[in-house]
C-alpha cells in the first residue's frame, strides 16, 4: 500500500496564507497605535510603555470577552464589518466601569479555513472600535482549525488592559442610600440574548433575516447586527468632573444581574420601569415570545447600556453633560435600603 504524502496545507492549515493575511492587515492595525506602543505587528508579543509620570499609584485593569451567538447573525447576513466593534465594546465597557482608561487590546480570531476577505472585514471592525475607545490593537492570534468550526464560521475573543489611578478607582464602596441611578441609552440589543432571539425569531417564527420589519422600522438582520455602544469617551469625560459612586455595564443578565454587582451591603437598586425610551426591538421580542417582564429584565438591556450611580446634587449637571455629549440619558431610579440579605433590586 502506497502511503499519501502529506503537508500541513493538505491537512487544512495554510501557513503562507496566514502570513499574507497578517501583512495585509498590518497597516490597518498599526493605525490604532498610541505613542507608547513599542512593537510592530508580526512579532511574538506586543510591548507597551507605561508613562507613569501622571500616576501616583497606578492600577492595571484587565478584562476579556467575546461576542457570543451574535456571530451567528453575522454569518446569516454574511456581513462581518461591525462584529469587531461589538468585541471591543464588550471588553472596554467593562473596565471603564471602574474608571480605567483602555490602553491596549489583543484579539483572537479562529476559523476552520481562513477567508482573508472576511477576516479583514472583522479586523476592520476591531480597528474601528479601538479607534473609538482610543485603545491600541497591539496584536492577536489568527488560528486555522480545520474540522473544528463549521465551514464559513469563526469565533472571536478579545482581551483588554487599562489603567486607573488608585485614588480614582470606582468600586461602588462609596454608594449610599439616596443616590440616583442614571441610565445611558443602548443602541439596541448590543451583544446579549441572541440565543433566545435566534430560537424565537428564526426557529419558531421562521422570519426572513433580510426583510424589513415594520414594528421595528428596520431590516431584521441590520437591527440585530447594530453594534454595541462604546461608552469610554463619555464615561472618562464624566469622571474628570463628577463623583461617580459606581457604574454597571448592562450585558448578559440585564439590569437585574448587573446593577447589584456594584452595590454595597445594605443597599438595593430601585428601578422605575417607565422612565426611559425603550427601542422597538425589545417590545417586538417580548410580544413575539410572550416573555414575562422579569425575563426581559434579566436577559436584555431593554434600552439601557450603562448605569451610573451619582449623588443627588450632581444629577442635573451630569445629565446636562451627557446630553451635550450626544448621549440619551435618563434618571431611572435610586439606591434604597435593603431589608433582606438577598434583596438587591426592585422594579416599581
List all residues 6 or more positions away from 117 whose beta carbon is below 8 Å from its beta carbon. none
Task: Please write the tens of the pLDDT for every residue from 140-167.
Answer: 999 999 999 999 999 999 999 999 999 9
If you average pLDDT over residues 101-123, what whole number do you get?
A: 96
DSSP three-state, residue 270: strand
Q: Are 139 and 48 in contact (CB under 8 A)?
A: no
Model pTM? 0.94
Q: Is the dihedral of CA 168, 173, 176, 179 positive or negative?
A: positive
Q: Which of 100, 122, 120 is nearest to 171 (CA)?
A: 100
Pairing of strands 345-347, 304-310: unpaired
220 backbone dihedrals φ, ψ, rounded to 5°: -55, -50
Task: Please write the tens of the pLDDT for every residue from 173-229.
Answer: 989 999 999 999 999 999 999 999 999 999 999 999 999 999 999 999 999 999 999
Q: Give the cell for residue 225.
A: 447586527
Question: Mind listing the domains of the chain with CATH numbers?
Answer: 15-168 (3.30.1330.10), 180-347 (3.90.650.10)
List all residues 6 or more positions away from 145 whose beta carbon is below 8 Å from its beta carbon. 110, 111, 112
List all residues 6 or more positions away from 300 whose beta carbon is below 8 Å from its beta carbon. 189, 192, 193, 254, 282, 285
DSSP three-state, residue 158: strand
Q: What is the pLDDT of residue 3?
A: 65
Amino acid at each position: 500500500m502506497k502511503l499519501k504524502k502529506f503537508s500541513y496545507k493538505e491537512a487544512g492549515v495554510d501557513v503562507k496564507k496566514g502570513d499574507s493575511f497578517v501583512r495585509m492587515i498590518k497597516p490597518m492595525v498599526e493605525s490604532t497605535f498610541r505613542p507608547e506602543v513599542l512593537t510592530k505587528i508580526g512579532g511574538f508579543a506586543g510591548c507597551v510603555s507605561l508613562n507613569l509620570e501622571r500616576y501616583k499609584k497606578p492600577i492595571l485593569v484587565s478584562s476579556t470577552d467575546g461576542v457570543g451567538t451574535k456571530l451567528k447573525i453575522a454569518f446569516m447576513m454574511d456581513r462581518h464589518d461591525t462584529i469587531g466593534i461589538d468585541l471591543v465594546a464588550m471588553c472596554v465597557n467593562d473596565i471603564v466601569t471602574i474608571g480605567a482608561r483602555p490602553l491596549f487590546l489583543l484579539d483572537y480570531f479562529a476559523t476552520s479555513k481562513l477567508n482573508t476577505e472576511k477576516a479583514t472585514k472583522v479586523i476592520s471592525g476591531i480597528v474601528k472600535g479601538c479607534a473609538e475607545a482610543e485603545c491600541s490593537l497591539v496584536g492577536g492570534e489568527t488560528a486555522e482549525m480545520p474540522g473544528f468550526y463549521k465551514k464559513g464560521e469563526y469565533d472571536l475573543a478579545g482581551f483588554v488592559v487599562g489603567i486607573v489611578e488608585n485614588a480614582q478607582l470606582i468600586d461602588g464602596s462609596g454608594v449610599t442610600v439616596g443616590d440616583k441611578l442614571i441610565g445611558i441609552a443602548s443602541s439596541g440589543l448590543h451583544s446579549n440574548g441572541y440565543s433566545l432571539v435566534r430560537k424565537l425569531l428564526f426557529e419558531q417564527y421562521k422570519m426572513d433575516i433580510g426583510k424589513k420589519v415594520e414594528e421595528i422600522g428596520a431590516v431584521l438582520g441590520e437591527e440585530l447586527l447594530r453594534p454595541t455602544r462604546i461608552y469610554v469617551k463619555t464615561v472618562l469625560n464624566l469622571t474628570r468632573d463628577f463623583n461617580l459612586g459606581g457604574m454597571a455595564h448592562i450585558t448578559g443578565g440585564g439590569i437585574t444581574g448587573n446593577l447589584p454587582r456594584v452595590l454595597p451591603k445594605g443597599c438595593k437598586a430601585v428601578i422605575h420601569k417607565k422612565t426611559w425610551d425603550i427601542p422597538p426591538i425589545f417590545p417586538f421580542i417580548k410580544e413575539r415570545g410572550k416573555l414575562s417582564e422579569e425575563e426581559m429584565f434579566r436577559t436584555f438591556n431593554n434600552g439601557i447600556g450603562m448605569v451610573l450611580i451619582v449623588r443627588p446634587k450632581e444629577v442635573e449637571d451630569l445629565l446636562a453633560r451627557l446630553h451635550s455629549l450626544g448621549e440619551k440619558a435618563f434618571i431611572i431610579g435610586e439606591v434604597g435600603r435593603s431589608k433582606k440579605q438577598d434583596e438587591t433590586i426592585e422594579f416599581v
